[in-house]
Amino acid sequence: MTLEQAIALGALQGATEFLPVSSSGHRAIAQSLISGFSQPGVLFDVLLHVGTMIAVAIYFWKDLRKLLTAPFRQDDSAGNDRRMLLLLIVGSIPTAIIGLAGKDYATALFHNIPVVAAMLIVTGSILFISERLRKGEGSSNIGYGDAIIAGIAQGLAIIPGISRSGSTIASLLLRGIDGESAARFSFLLAMPAIFGATLLSLDDIQKVSPAEMTSYIAGTGAALMIGLLSIHFLLAIIRRKRLYYFAIYCWVAGALFMTLSLT
């Protein structure tokens, strides 16, 4: 993998991790289209996710700081922050169970482009249905049942082509949560999952050469910078209730890549 390819894949990750179009699906398709591309391995994918995790931490730093200090504070807002922290922990449990159980299965599907394309079409349908069935402005009060369902949705998004942000946001919209609160919870819920995956991949770092690590770091930086822009863009789209734009994109992209992979 060249430096230019690493940066391009990092930028792609930064855009598609937060936009509900499946980052794993787009990486799988992009890598299949690059002539002579050498698969960098799991560590590179994890580091790209680290870049997007840092983007979330920067964009939602005020929220994150409140959550991390909530157990030690006694001010008026500490109770709500402790509850949100507990919701994120509850939501992370089903994600971890599904992720650990389905990791090998999902890895095997990564290079199966017809399956990835089909899952993009599924993602588009999920987005379209959630946009059409959402009721009014929705509530900002996320409950424990909502957190569990969002965690399950995030776990199932281990399948390439299923959007993590799309499935978690859609699941919360269908539960009556307003779009901005759903997106914020979705972004924060991703952080424990990415952190856990990073810990599991630490042993792989010593297997990477200095030249490869330069490309890995460049890709991570690209994912971070583009990720910040993508978060801002998605929140603006959600406020305008235009998620169906992404549904149409997923349908078209899925159908196109399905056709190309079968011809």
Which SS3 state, helix, strand or coil, does residue 39 take?
coil
**Which pair of structure tokens corresponds to residue 27?**
């990486």
Average pLDDT, the chain: 87
Q: What is the predicted pLDDT for the residue at 203?
A: 64
- Identify each DSSP E strand in the chain by its residue range: none
Domain count, the chain: 1
DSSP string, 92-106: HHHHHHHHHHHHHHH
Q: CB atoms < 10 A from the CB of 57, how many?
A: 16
Q: What is the predicted pLDDT for the residue at 207?
A: 67
Q: What is the predicted pLDDT for the residue at 137?
A: 73
Q: Which domain holds residue 76?
A: 3-262
- The pLDDT tens digits of the residues spanning 124-179 come to 999 999 988 877 677 888 999 999 999 999 999 999 999 999 999 999 999 999 98
